[in-house]
Structure 1
Amino acid sequence: MAKRYSSFRSGSTTWLLQRLTAGFLVVVLAFHFFNLHFVNHAYNIDFAGSQVRMQSLGYYVTMVLFLVTATFHGVNGVYNALVNQGIEGNAKRAAQLVLGVAGVLLIVQGIRVANALAGF
Structure 2
Amino acid sequence: MAERYSSFAPGGTRWLLQRITAAFLVVVLAFHFFQLHFVTHAAEVTFMGTQARMQNVGYFLTMVLFLITAAFHGVNGVYNALINQGLEGTRKKVVLAVLVIAGGALIAQGVYVAVAMAGWI
Aligned AA (2:114)? A
For the residues of structure 1 that align with 2:39 and 2:88, how far apart are their CA atoms?
48
Q: CA deviation at 1:102?
A: 0.2
For the residues of structure 1 that align with 2:69 and 2:4, how far apart are their CA atoms?
27
Aligned AA (1:68)? I
Partner of 1:104: 104
* 1:30 aligned onto 2:35: no
Structure-2-length-normalised TM-score = 0.98
Per-residue Cα deviation, 1:7-29 (whole angstroms, up to 9, x for no partner)? 00011111111000000000000
Instruction: Give the 5 Å matches for 1:31-46.
Output: 31-46=31-46
For the residues of structure 1 that align with 2:6 and 2:43, how far apart are their CA atoms?
43
Per-residue Cα deviation, 1:2-59 (whole angstroms, up to 9, x for no partner)? 1111000011111111000000000000001101011111111011000000000000
Q: CA deviation at 1:76?
A: 0.2
Which consecutive segments of 4 or more residues in structure 1 shift more than 3 A?
none
Instruction: Give the 5 Å matches for 1:1-40.
Output: 1-40=1-40
Partner of 2:58: 58
Query: CA RMSD, aligned part only?
Result: 0.5
For the residues of structure 1 that align with 2:4 and 2:53, how far apart are their CA atoms?
45
Partner of 1:75: 75
Question: Which runs of 5 or more structure 1 residues have no equivalent in the other structure?
Answer: none
Structure-1-length-normalised TM-score = 0.98
For the residues of structure 2 that align with 1:14 and 1:30, how far apart are their CA atoms?
24
Aligned AA (1:102)? A
